[in-house]
Structures are given as structure tokens and as C-alpha cells.
Amino acid sequence: MKSYTRLREKQKQFFYSGITKEYSFRIKQLKCFSTMLKNNEKKLLQALNDDLNKSYEEAFLTEMGPLYQELSYMIKHLPEWTKAKKVKTATSHVGSKGYIYHEPYGVALIIAPWNYPLQLALAPVIGALAAGNCVVLKPSEFTPHTSSVLSEIVRDTFSDEYFTVVEGAVETSQQLLAEPFDYIFFTGSVNVGKAVMEAAAKHLTPVTLELGGKSPAIVHEDAKLDLAAKRIAWGKFINAGQTCVAPDYVLVHEQIKEQFLSKLNQYIDQLFTASFERNRYPRIVTNRHFTRLLSFLDDGDIYLGGHFKEEDCVLSPTVLTNVSLDSNIMKEEIFGPILPIIPYQKIEEVLYLVREQPNPLALYVFTENKEIEQKIIHGLSFGGGCVNDTILHLATPHLPFGGVGASGMGAYHGYESFNTFSHRKSILKQTTAFDLPIRYKQGKVALALLRKLFK
């Protein structure tokens, strides 16, 4: 069995040199990172097309663009974030000053998924490097072209003692997880996330888990149906539904169900039919996953879609009606271009149905009613989401992105990425000009004074 001890120790020694903590070094590396992406953009877009049949436009929108934005945001704000933060002094600590230092953990292991094999691999890397860490990145074996290009361009840009890519399958991940890294960041399925957390626990390594779950879209009776249908169609069927925050099912008020379905049909046709017919629609990543999705087609009535090209692992955008809550498709995350539609009468039904599922990574509510909006936001637990939109909450560096409960732990993007990969070290600087005698005293008088001091 191959050991990655030497690689980890090599990075650890480079970290101990102190250079990664220097602000000027971090900025230089982030700028090199940006240049690396720009110089290899065409090669990366082609790799995404080879792996998942993503068009250049979709790949730039969902993979390259967010990385450029993240880098620009990091470079702009890093001077502010790296400064020691002075905090208030408690009355009990008169004469002292408190500071918080953001200190990098050391060597971070980042394990990336296949569905957005560029963006979900490099976005956390940007945060880790900005925070001053060294990084070992393990990309997905299911997207070999993208992984290979990533390995090549990182090797040509950075020294492996600072940032390197390790390619391989499950065994490689297991061997990496056996090492006592200083931080682990994982994006993927719940089951693998549990294995990652178990491995991390052996070394008491802190982790961030970005998982998934059944993310609902709720369309209330007062929603603007054109926008709701268009935005749900786009959010669900982009990347062939292989998005961790894609709407997994739609809860639609029964009074507007037929209208919503009609408009959903209209926008699916407008946005995706031509791509599917011209073989430009993204493929399902593996035969096993493709077969699994086909089995879901029997869990309801096919309202539209259901067409597939088995030899290419491509399934058309599909909408199911008359779906039982006990069916297989409602028991696990779909992660494909199939959308169940479930009617409801009262908002209380929605609260009950969503609470019956593990906490989702995302939730989307379409309504013009502020009371309904607030009832959903405050009445349900989920990672994050949108009001009157889908997916876009994860594309801004100003909002933390992460799950809760079964959908994950920890968050990243923008400052949250910097914070995630930093230990907040607390330092109290005490005065030597005087020494309050009260803390050394015993007796009733001293106790009375202490009570006032800590009030």
C-alpha cells in the first residue's frame, strides 16, 4: 500500500518555514492561481466537455466564472482579514488587551467530487491557500480528463511542497485519509462523508463536510409562475441535475399545479430541448448512476421527458407526477434530471413533509407573501437557499455556503473560506504597569468585590 507520509511531511516542513504565513507570499500565490486558470481556460473547458459533455458556456458559468470571482474577492480582502483583530476588554480584565489572530492549520487535504470537478475542487483550495496553508488536492477519478489537466497545470505552477494534486480512486482517498493532516475538506455523498469523518476522528482532525440531500422547491399559490417555472427548470436541469443544491422535488400548491406544470414544460423546452437533441446536454457520469436514475422513472407518471440515450448515458429533463412519498425516488437524493411534482393544500403540510426528510443542503421558496416566506425560513432547518430563485445563493462570495445535520457541517466561500481554514488564536496581552491584588485575596470582602467585578 502506498504511503503519502513523505508528501505530507514535506509540505509540513515547508509550512514550518513560515513563508506561507507571509501576506506578500499569499497574494503572489493567489495571483499565480488566477494566471494559471486564465492561461489554461480553454484546456480546462475542453476537459469538462470530455468528462461530462458540458458546453463551454455552461462550464464557464458554473465552473470557471465562480473561481475568478472568488480569487478577486480573496485578493481584495486578504489585507484586512490577515490583520490581528483587537477585541473589547472585559471589566474583570482591566489593563489588558485582547487580540484574535487567524492562523493557518498547516497541511490541508481537500477531496473533491465529480459533478463540478473544477469549481468544487479549486474553490476550497483558494480559501486554504489564502489562509496560509499547504494543500493536497484529491480530485475525482470519475472525471479523469479534468483531474489530469488539474494535475498538470498545478504541477507546472506550484511546487509540490506547497500545493499538489494526487490522482487516484477510492484506495488513494483511503491512504490519504490515513495520514494525520491538519485539516480535511470533503465534498461528496453522505455515506462517504461519514467515512471521512470517521478517519478524521482517529487523528482528531477538524473537518468540513459539504454533502447534499433532498433540497425542496416550494411554489406557493401566490408565486409568479413564469419566473418560478423558469428558475426551477434552470436550477434543476443544468448539469443534467447533477448539482448538490439542485431542486430535488417541487411542492406546489394544488390550485396552481396544472398552470405550473404547463409553464415548466414551456421553459424546459426553451432551455434544454435543443441541447438534448443536438447531443450537447450533459451526460450522467457513470453507467451505474445512469441505471439507477432509469429505475426512478417507474416511481410516478412521466409528465414530460423520459427519453434517454443509453450508449451515451444521457437522460432528457424529466418531470414526474403522481409520485408517492414512500417511493424510492423520495427516499434518496436524485442527483439527475428527474423532477417529482407533489401538490399540497396548506403550508403546514409543507413543513411536515420537509421535516420528515433529513435536513437538506438547500431550500427554495417561491412566494410574494412575506409571512409565508418567514414561516419557511424560520420553520425549517436547511443549509441555505433562495427566495424566488434557485442555486444562485452559492455563487456569491458574500454568503457562507454549507449544510446542517445530514447535509454537512462547516461553510466556505469568501471570508468563510478564509475562516474555515484558519484557527482563531486568542491572545491576551496583560499590562505590567500594575497588578490588581484582588485576584490573590481570600475572604468575604474579596468575594464581594469579585462578585461586582464579574457582574
Q: What angle do CA 130, 385, 194 make, to 5 degrees?
A: 65
Which of 244, 313, 333, 386 is catalytic? The answer is: 244
Task: For the chain, state the CA radius of gyration.
Answer: 25
Q: Indicate which residue of 58, 210, 333, 416 is catalytic.
A: 210
Instruction: Assess contact for 365 and 356: CB atoms under 8 A.
Output: no
Report the sign of the C-alpha dihedral through residues 176, 182, 188, 192, in that order: positive
Q: Which of 45, 51, 118 is nearest to 282 (CA)?
A: 51
Query: Is the Cβ–Cβ distance between 284 and 241 less than 8 Å?
Result: no
Catalytic residue status for 210 = yes
Decide if 310 is catalytic.
no
b/e 338-367 (16+ beta carbons within 10 angstroms → b): bbbbbbbeebeebbebbeebbbbbbbbbbb
Which residues does the annotation mark as catalytic? 210, 244
